[in-house]
């Protein structure tokens, strides 16, 4: 992703931002996304709050949307699964409808829109990578093979490893992120906790989650 956002796009008003919740009210579930993407060769996974529910094996809160992560170079394969739908790029309170290649190159998030209703169904994160190596978009020195990044539910739905989900959530640690942390950390293995602790020490020294992470499960 480049540092300079392209011109154009639609700047959302406060009222339009407030109305986004309704436009996401029909978003898909992880199972629906997995059915749409069955047979995809790219390494994709459910991300954010839904990923933690998949890790724990139960849904513990409502989700306002659903996000998946894919290698940026694999986005055309994802896009090809949804003829008749539109992909809008989003960044900094602005939307580029039916995003062109230059906009995609400069942004990270892409919302799948049903043109018939205007509803959004899926949020696709186009992630940096080097071949089969995942690169953290917040710190490009953090690199892991996709085999360590993606986990699967018993019925095969791929999801982002919980230690990485919580690492992303630690950046802002909003109330819902704190709740996700509190509900997830008891289920994590010692190795997963150690990985999370190492990532936080590297990126956010002194983060308030560190003490809880090092407590015995």
pLDDT digits (tens, 9 = 90+) for 137-167: 989 999 999 999 999 999 999 999 999 999 9
Q: How many helices (H) and strands (E) does the chain have?
A: 10, 12
pTM equals 0.91
Find the helix or strand (DSSP H, E) in which 39 lies: none
Q: List, for residues 194-211, the tens digit of each pLDDT value.
A: 999 999 999 999 999 998
Q: List, for residues 35-68, the tens digit of each pLDDT value.
A: 999 999 999 999 999 999 999 999 989 999 999 9
In this prediction, residue 33 carries a pLDDT of: 97
Find the helix or strand (DSSP H, E) in which 167 lies: helix 162-170
What are the strands, taking DSSP E only, across 7-115?
A: 10-11, 45-46, 67-71, 86-91, 94-96, 109-113
């Amino acid at each position: 992703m480049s540092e300079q956002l392209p011109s154009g796009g639609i700047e959302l008003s406060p009222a339009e931002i407030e109305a986004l919740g309704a436009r996401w009210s029909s978003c898909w579930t992880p199972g629906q996304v997995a059915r749409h993407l069955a047979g995809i060769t790219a390494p994709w996974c459910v991300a954010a709050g839904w990923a933690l529910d998949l890790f724990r094996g139960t849904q513990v809160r409502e989700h306002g949307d659903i996000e998946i992560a894919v290698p940026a170079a694999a986005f055309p394969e994802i896009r090809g699964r949804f003829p008749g739908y539109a992909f809008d790029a989003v960044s900094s309170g602005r939307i580029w409808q039916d995003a062109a290649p230059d906009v995609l190159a400069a942004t990270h998030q892409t919302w799948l829109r049903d043109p018939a209703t205007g509803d959004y169904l899926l949020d696709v994160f186009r992630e940096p990578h080097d071949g089969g190596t995942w690169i953290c978009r917040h710190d490009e020195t953090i690199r892991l093979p996709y085999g360590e990044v993606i986990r699967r539910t018993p019925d095969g739905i791929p999801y982002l490893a919980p230690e990485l989900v919580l690492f992303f959530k630690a950046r802002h640690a909003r109330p819902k992120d704190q709740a996700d942390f509190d509900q997830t950390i008891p289920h994590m293995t010692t190795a997963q906790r150690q990985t999370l602790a190492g990532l936080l020490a590297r990126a956010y020294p002194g983060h308030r989650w560190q003490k809880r992470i090092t407590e015995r499960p």
